[in-house]
Amino acid sequence: ATAELVIDDLHVDYAIGHRKRRRAVDGVSLRVPPGRAVGVVGESGSGKSTVAGAVLGLAPVSAGAVRYGTTDLRELGRRDRPQQIQAVFQDPYSSLDPTKTLGYTLAEPLRSHAAGTERGGRGRESRTAAVDAMLERVGLGPEAANRYPAQFSGGQRQRASIARALILRPELVICDEAVSALDLSVQAQILNLLLELQQDLGLSMLFITHDLSVVHHIAEEIVVLYRGRIMESGSAESVCRTPSHPYTQRLVMSAPARDIAVQRERRARREALTPPPARLSPLGDACPFAHRCPYAVDRCRTERPLLQPSPHGGRVACHRAHELPPWPHMYEETPA
Ligand code: SF4
Ligand code: MG
């Protein structure tokens, strides 16, 4: 990859009914430099899929910039998306046609995209060779070309959709909950495959997930979203080992831990950290996490915390980030 994905002060509003609008993304900025893997983590409703959608021409951008290199992605529909940008979704059926063999599905973009390019001259034989090479690359045998999506296991199907995303040799791959539907052991295999491909092919990757342990495995930088805003960002190490934002601390504590004792400690601490949720009101100028935060003070309900340098080298949006108790040593074990 040679270009950088730049998302700058992104706002996305969805209309609800005739008059109301819901702000799904509220001023998110992030960058994916060439060849880097950046993770966006958040629970459902955090706006993380909408961020992905804004890059892929699937979400309406209300304000802010979304560009890849010099290409402005805001006005592009899903069909005009540059071929350097591809996606892998949670549900492989969204990228695999159940009525077509995998071989046909993989050759199809080679046929249509090739028209008018130097690959335009490619005949059937070289397409077949490219398809076979890609199948091998993602750990499926050449016989997979003759099978239909329903004939694959969940993990094989996700391998197939990765092949579908990579066949046009993209530079940037957006993965939205790409392993979330899979069993844990299969998840690890697919994550390792993605990591291997990312490094071997020099791909840039924007990895969207609700699961901090997944993103810690794959991303060098992590952005934590909550209710459409960035709570914390920084290196994967600093976000996972020394989380500065009370919300990130909560995420780290809920991540699966190998050690059962650590898990029990985490549960106890998580319960202490979680007062009963108050009714959600529109955000306005408050901290989005104020209704769940054990450290909230009056200021948190009246003034929007801006991203600022965090005590551990990343950035954090919390008025009290510098006065919070130090992150307890016993929770420093990184998510499994
Ligand atoms: Fe908690 Fe206040 Fe920090 Fe928000 S700004 S996370 S409510 S302490
Ligand atoms: Mg989602």
Ligand 1 mean position, distance from CA 163 (Å): 43
Question: Greatest CA span in the chain, whole angstroms?
Answer: 69
pLDDT number for residue 281: 53
pLDDT number for residue 10: 97
pLDDT number for residue 41: 96
- 311 class by beta-carbon count within 10 Å (0-12 exposed, 13-18 middle, 19+ buried): middle
* β partners of residue 15: 21
Kindly write down the DSSP assignment for every residue of 236-300, as one continuous string. Answer: HHHHHHS--SHHHHHHHHHS--SSHHHHHHHHHHHHHH-PPPPPP---TTS-TTTTT-TT--GGG
pLDDT number for residue 112: 79
- Look at residues 109, 169, 171 and name the one whose alpha carbon lies nearest to residue 137: 169
Distance in Å from the first CA to the final CA of the chain: 30
* Domain residue ranges in the chain: 1-84+170-226, 94-168, 248-331
Ligand 2 mean position, distance from CA 211 (Å): 12
Give the ligand at the shortest distance from the Cα of 298. Answer: 1
Give the ligand at the shortest distance from the Cα of 292. Answer: 1
pLDDT number for residue 184: 85
Ligand 1 mean position, distance from CA 301 (Å): 9
Work out which ligand 1 atom sits closest to the CA atom of 231. Answer: 6
pLDDT number for residue 122: 64
Torsion of CA 12, 46, 166, 113, to 10 degrees: -20
List, in order, residues 6 or more apart from 5 with CB less than 8 Å away.
Answer: 31, 32, 55, 67, 68, 172, 204, 206
Mutate to test the pocket of ligand 1, among 231, 287, 297, 306 (most ligand atoms within 8 A of CB): 287
Report residues of the chain scoring pLDDT below 50: 116, 120, 275-279, 329-332, 334-336
**Residue nearest atom 6 in ligand 1 by C-alpha distance:** 318
Checking DSSP bridges between strand 221-226 and strand 229-235, what pairing results, if any?
A: antiparallel
CATH number of 1-84+170-226: 3.40.50.300
The complex's ipTM works out to: 0.94
Work out which ligand 1 atom sits closest to the CA atom of 294. Answer: 1
pLDDT number for residue 282: 59
pLDDT number for residue 289: 95
pLDDT number for residue 272: 56
Q: What's the Cα-to-Cα distance from 177 to each of 42, 44, 207, rounded to whole Å?
A: 11, 11, 8
Structure tokens at 295: 């450290």
Ligand 1 proximity of 327 Cβ (cutoff 6 Å): no
Ligand 2 mean position, distance from CA 44 (Å): 6
User: By the 8 A CB rule, do 101 and 145 touch?
Assistant: yes
Ligand 1 proximity of 253 Cβ (cutoff 6 Å): no
Mutate to test the pocket of ligand 1, among 249, 293, 316 (most ligand atoms within 8 A of CB): 293
- The per-residue pLDDT for range 283-308, each reduced to its tens digit, is 678 999 999 999 999 999 999 999 99
Ligand 2 mean position, distance from CA 85 (Å): 19
Ligand 2 mean position, distance from CA 210 (Å): 8
- The per-residue pLDDT for range 164-187, each reduced to its tens digit, is 999 999 999 999 999 888 888 899
Work out which ligand 1 atom sits closest to the CA atom of 299. Answer: 2
Ligand 1 proximity of 317 Cβ (cutoff 6 Å): no
pLDDT number for residue 275: 47
pLDDT number for residue 165: 95
* Total-model pTM: 0.88
Ligand 1 proximity of 316 Cβ (cutoff 6 Å): no
pLDDT number for residue 329: 47
Work out which ligand 1 atom sits closest to the CA atom of 246. Answer: 6
Ligand 1 mean position, distance from CA 321 (Å): 8
* Phi, psi angles (nearest 5°) of residue 310: -95, 165
